[in-house]
Structure 1
């Protein structure tokens, strides 16, 4: 962390490649640091100039008499390598390389970046970039704009990390228009050394940073990232992280043999990472700023400690002076996962005593268009003190009799006394500007439209749910790891990478899953004998490594109750398989004991480079293809993550007992998800897997795997 202080709060900076020519990056960065009011010592380095902007220039960084803490290098790649070596010899603690032409261009550029990494790592010097915008710290004690953005942002308590330099300049312009302040602002470029996780850890410890915003293109770490960020968002001083991720729709799911593989694209991986680490994903730059404003709102406690205002639940009170915006806020509240609070009788009495007869004293509260500031104040005080209210949205539309600034002052007065979040929406620009300015000056979030305020409150609630999430005791499951490894090795030794059902259920049994009696019949006569031994009814399925989706080949027949039906089914299944794929090698037909009915769910795995196994859970059978009601998590997971995974799907209500149906055995699903996580972590050869369907019986009766599909690859 100390080394990153040299990047964000250096006592001295050398700009290597500073230029006297306006318009050049070397000139603009040096000028931005100088004109921004940097409080430390600044040294331009350029062998062709005696001075730059009236500041003495040096031939090399080694010629500077004073110590240098941070070197900012703006030179072509080969010259940058030489300058980095000199900076390290000079004793710098941090380096920022703005120049491009490294890993992003491949070939020699990538080789030079590798050399940079090796040099800095050996010297213990932290490196930002290359190919980045730079670093900004607008706080009064530093005032460093070491970037080629001419705009120095206001000081604030929100930090911003971006992979995109171009986006940084747009965000700075956007922030200036909204009077938005920053604590730290950094573009990380190629992430040769310092990456998102380094910065998240640093900013979490930074007492000037209350909220972190991040623009993310790609991550280079998986499970390690989740575990570290979970501590940041959950620990003794939780720091909210808001992320906007590029490419939500551009990177679709890859072609895959399993349902899990076809549904799990790169965005499913990122959704899982954000969900498991407590990061709140946003869809737009607007939302990024809206949510950050809500999270930055704080209150001083009775003990003098500053605490973030978080809602205990999702029950919202709305106060408005116009019906239409109140309806909009109500609609957005409901679609954002919030609910309208129901006021107590006492609250309704208080509202009735302060509001005119024409006012609506139920939620949403309409104080009528002629409301003065005291009407707002009395209504807000009444609802925010109701135990059934977790926070409030205050909407103001400018009408001829509206005291905009007075209303803003009334909101601040009530908000200061409450630990519950109060978000405001002052609709308009010019007519409401005095009120908006007052709220912003005192650190209270204010929005232009009701939907922005409602979405922001929903983000607060999501983070509150994360902070207060349930922590159940973990399961202690026993697995036959030795036998599982033997099954996998045997299949790979035999050249089998697509496991048939017989091998698959043997593997699942090693991890405690309940499977159906299943045997292979090579003739109709064998099938009849097996079915009689199992006792009817039975299911019959084609057995072929080339036919993974048996239903597509009309290779499954269920509910067979007699010898005659079994013989007919055997012949028909073989004929259907041959018609579906004449080249397929037919091993025979599987005879399976008919399972006890249950709710159909799917559990699956798809393994990714860097990130590892991605687990999937959802409604199974044919429903997975129709509704795609699934959720993902990166392994390893425990009981708590398994439960949250189940609760995330829309079909979870079906498992809880819906319309007279018995409650499903949810605990068995949890244990199965944890077991699958254990299985794929123990056996890196498992690349893809579907258990579809698993039939979940009523509570206390377990679950049965009805079909499975596993794809292997020899471990590296």
Structure 2
């Protein structure tokens, strides 16, 4: 974080490349700082101008007689390099390079950017950009608008980080329309030096920042990012982080020989990063602001400290004066992972005593269209005190008897006394504007539509679960890392980048997986002998480097229970393989003891540059790519992470003992996920792998590997 304070709280700023021509970036940025009321000292630098906007200009930053903390560079790359050298000589602490034409165009631009960063790092000078909008600090003691956005946002307690400068201008317009304030605002462009993680750490320590918003195009740090942000969002002094990621599609899944590789697009990586670091992902700019308002919502605790309002549970009370919006809110509440609270008998009695006979006193509470503020006050006061209620949504539609400002005052009065979050939806624009303004001024989140309020409450609940998550002790596990390394090295030495079940089961056994007796038979007689030794019934599978998906080739027969059946199955499998792929090399047929029955799940991994191993878990067998009920996490995977991963798939209910079925051994799955994580971290030669299916037996009976495949890649030699 060293040097970053000079970016947001400088006592002096030099604009190098300031222009006297309106419409040019160098002119507009200088004027924006000037007109924004910057509390420090501002200097324009331009060798061909005597003054800029009536302020004396200097030919070079070195000619300025006073110390300079922050330099804003608005020059082409070749001139920017010289200007930054002079700025370093002058003693600046930070540089913002607004200009484009650097890394993003490649060639000489990239080389200049690299030289600038090396020069600044040697001098201890931090760099934002190049190719960025700039930095903004609207707080009253600074008022710095070092950007080419003419609009200085209102001061607030939310900081915003964006990789895109164009998006920043749209966000600033959007914020102005909503009267939404910021603590700090920064566009980071090429991220040549300062990146998202640097700024997240800085804003986490910033007493003026309560919530951090983040727009991401791509991250340049993997496991380090997760570990650091996990502390920011869920450590001793948590700061919520809300992120919107560009290009949210499943496109980009790499061509792969494994189910995991084919399902794991770049979105799976970012979903894993956000989940594991406690970042709340949002779908749109509108949702970003909706959530931001609620996450910044605080009130004073009994000890006199400001406390963020997050629900302890997901039980919501709805108070409305119209049935339709109440139904919409109910639907959105359920779809947002919440549930309608069931009121206690005492609460219902209180509601009955204050509401007319035609009112609905069950959840959602309908105080009827002619409700004045007293009905809202009595109803909200009753439900928010109920121990079975974790928070409330208050919906108001403008009708003839509606008193929007009076109702808002009542809500604020109750909200100040309660630690539970109260979110409002005042529908309409003109008739409710005074009430909306009052709620906003007093920090109570208010929305135009009930869907927005319900989704926001759902996000608050997700964050509450993150804050209050249990920390499980690590599994006690031991691995034969040396033998596993030998198996992998032997395969690569022989030129094999594919390991099937022959070596794969032994490799997994080194990391604690329960595997079955397995023999490769090259003739029907050998297959019969192997089955006689291991016992019946067996499962038989084709072994061929060219036939990865065995079932598609008719290369799997399950359940031969006699020698005759085994020898016949051998011939059938080989014939099927030759018909499926005439050029395939058939090494033989695998004979394996048939595992006890169990739920079929898949464990897998594919390796990404920067981010490392991405682990997959889901329901497996032949349906893995049909239902795609899978979850992804980046290694290393903790016991907590494994548990959350298993619980996050829709099929978790089937594992938990659905409709009389015995509960599956979920703890064994979690243990194997952690073991798999350690396997792929310890052996970077593993590029992809599938364990499909892993058979999960009833609780206490463990799991069994039924099939597996590994794709290897020789590590690059150091040059």
Task: Return the TM-score normalized by structure 2.
Answer: 0.99
Structure 2 CA distance, aligned partners of 1:92 and 1:134? 17
| Partner SS for 1:3 | coil
- In the alignment, which residue of structure 2 is the partner of 1:70? 70
1:408 aligns with 2:405: no
| Partner SS for 1:526 | helix
| Partner SS for 1:552 | helix
When the two chains are superposed, the root-mean-square deviation of aligned CA atoms in Å is 0.7
Structure 2 CA distance, aligned partners of 1:251 and 1:576? 34
For each residue in 1:382-428, what CA deviation from the matched residue of structure 2 results, as whole angstroms up to 9, or x when unmatched? Answer: 00000000000000000011001000000000000000000000001
| Partner SS for 2:3 | helix
- In the alignment, which residue of structure 2 is the partner of 1:280? 280
Structure 1 CA distance, aligned partners of 2:554 and 2:159? 57
- In the alignment, which residue of structure 1 is the partner of 2:642? 642
1:7-22 equivalences in 2 (<5 Å): 7-22=7-22
For each residue in 1:648-677, what CA deviation from the matched residue of structure 2 results, as whole angstroms up to 9, or x when unmatched? Answer: 000011111111111111111111000000
1:430 aligns with 2:430: yes
For each residue in 1:6-39, what CA deviation from the matched residue of structure 2 results, as whole angstroms up to 9, or x when unmatched? Answer: 0001000000000000000000000000000000
Structure 1 CA distance, aligned partners of 2:132 and 2:251? 24
Unmatched runs of 5 consecutive residues or more in structure 1: none
1:25-40 equivalences in 2 (<5 Å): 25-40=25-40
For each residue in 1:595-653, what CA deviation from the matched residue of structure 2 results, as whole angstroms up to 9, or x when unmatched? Answer: 10001100000000000000000001022121100000000011110000000000011
Structure 2 CA distance, aligned partners of 1:276 and 1:303? 32
- In the alignment, which residue of structure 1 is the partner of 2:607? 607
Structure 1 CA distance, aligned partners of 2:134 and 2:580? 59
Task: Tell me how far 1:584 sits from its aligned partner.
Answer: 1.2
Paired residues of 2:250 and 2:265 also in contact (CA < 8 A): no
- In the alignment, which residue of structure 1 is the partner of 2:107? 107
- Larger mean CA deviation between 300-309 and 60-69 belongs to 300-309
- In the alignment, which residue of structure 2 is the partner of 1:298? 298
- In the alignment, which residue of structure 1 is the partner of 2:447? 447
- In the alignment, which residue of structure 2 is the partner of 1:673? 673
Paired residues of 2:513 and 2:705 also in contact (CA < 8 A): yes
Structure 1 CA distance, aligned partners of 2:322 and 2:557? 62
The alignment of Structure 1 onto Structure 2 pairs a total of residues equal to 716
- In the alignment, which residue of structure 2 is the partner of 1:183? 183
- In the alignment, which residue of structure 2 is the partner of 1:563? 563
- In the alignment, which residue of structure 2 is the partner of 1:163? 163
Task: Tell me how far 1:139 sits from its aligned partner.
Answer: 0.3
Structure 2 CA distance, aligned partners of 1:176 and 1:638? 43
- In the alignment, which residue of structure 2 is the partner of 1:462? 462
Structure 2 CA distance, aligned partners of 1:180 and 1:421? 20
For each residue in 1:196-241, what CA deviation from the matched residue of structure 2 results, as whole angstroms up to 9, or x when unmatched? Answer: 0000000000010000111100000000000000000011210000
Task: Tell me how far 1:503 sits from its aligned partner.
Answer: 0.8
1:360-371 equivalences in 2 (<5 Å): 360-371=360-371
| Partner SS for 1:227 | helix
| Partner SS for 2:688 | strand
Structure 2 CA distance, aligned partners of 1:243 and 1:424? 23
Structure 2 CA distance, aligned partners of 1:515 and 1:228? 37
- Larger mean CA deviation between 258-267 and 105-114 belongs to 105-114
1:310 aligns with 2:310: yes
- In the alignment, which residue of structure 1 is the partner of 2:576? 576
1:44-123 equivalences in 2 (<5 Å): 44-123=44-123
Task: Tell me how far 1:572 sits from its aligned partner.
Answer: 1.1
Structure 1 CA distance, aligned partners of 2:252 and 2:331? 31
1:388 aligns with 2:351: no
Paired residues of 2:250 and 2:267 also in contact (CA < 8 A): no
For each residue in 1:54-79, what CA deviation from the matched residue of structure 2 results, as whole angstroms up to 9, or x when unmatched? Answer: 00000000000000000000000000
| Partner SS for 1:625 | helix
Paired residues of 2:426 and 2:436 also in contact (CA < 8 A): yes
1:107-256 equivalences in 2 (<5 Å): 107-249=107-249, 251-256=251-256
| Partner SS for 2:244 | strand
For each residue in 1:668-687, what CA deviation from the matched residue of structure 2 results, as whole angstroms up to 9, or x when unmatched? Answer: 11110000000000000000
Task: Tell me how far 1:500 sits from its aligned partner.
Answer: 2.2
Structure 1 CA distance, aligned partners of 2:538 and 2:663? 26
| Partner SS for 2:545 | coil
Paired residues of 2:263 and 2:625 also in contact (CA < 8 A): no
Structure 2 CA distance, aligned partners of 1:564 and 1:130? 73
Structure 1 CA distance, aligned partners of 2:108 and 2:251? 28
Structure 1 CA distance, aligned partners of 2:328 and 2:701? 47
Task: Tell me how far 1:251 sits from its aligned partner.
Answer: 3.3
1:261-272 equivalences in 2 (<5 Å): 261-272=261-272
For each residue in 1:479-513, what CA deviation from the matched residue of structure 2 results, as whole angstroms up to 9, or x when unmatched? Answer: 00000001100000000100121111110010010
Task: Tell me how far 1:2 sits from its aligned partner.
Answer: 4.2
For each residue in 1:362-392, what CA deviation from the matched residue of structure 2 results, as whole angstroms up to 9, or x when unmatched? Answer: 0000000111101100100000000000000
Task: Tell me how far 1:301 sits from its aligned partner.
Answer: 1.2
Structure 2 CA distance, aligned partners of 1:541 and 1:500? 11
Paired residues of 2:395 and 2:450 also in contact (CA < 8 A): yes
Paired residues of 2:542 and 2:574 also in contact (CA < 8 A): yes
Unmatched runs of 5 consecutive residues or more in structure 2: none
Structure 2 CA distance, aligned partners of 1:473 and 1:255? 37
